[in-house]
Amino acid sequence: MSRRKKIEDPSLKMMEVTLEGFKQAKIAMDAIKENQTNQARATYTGLTSSGKSRYVSSLVETSGSQIEVAELLDLSKGRISQLVRSERNRNNGQ
């Protein structure tokens, strides 16, 4: 008796390759996000108090969300709000 060769379904192979590609993309995006977070925290830590409020205000303006900035810098939402308010007051001369 001869054995027949098992033929792989091309659509299954394509799904496997696509899934592996998505896994690799996710790994790369996570590494980039971690790198950006580390850089943002290091920048924040190295600034003076007025520099911190300017930096946080610009991050909030760019991202559009104080919550995202709080998560990025590992600070409380209250602290982010305080820094944004401080910068706004500084710009208004109060």
Q: Determine the Cα–Cα distance for residues 44 and 53; give it in Å rounded to an integer.
A: 9
Q: Determine the Cα–Cα distance for residues 69 and 55; give it in Å rounded to an integer.
A: 10
Burial class of residue 36 (count of CB atoms within 10 Å of its CB; 0-12, 13-18, 19+)? exposed
Residue 17, pLDDT score: 94
pLDDT in tens, the chain (94 residues): 556 667 778 899 999 999 999 999 999 999 999 999 999 999 999 999 999 999 999 999 999 999 999 999 999 999 999 999 999 888 887 6
Instruction: Report the predicted TM-score, pTM, of the whole model to 2 decimal places.
Output: 0.74
Residue 3, pLDDT score: 67
Residue 23, pLDDT score: 97
Structural domain boundaries in the chain: 11-91
Q: Determine the Cα–Cα distance for residues 68 and 65; give it in Å rounded to an integer.
A: 5
Can you read off the two tokens belonging to residue 29?
Answer: 């995006």
Smallest Cα–Cα separation from 43: which of 58, 31, 30, 29? 58
Residue 22, pLDDT score: 97
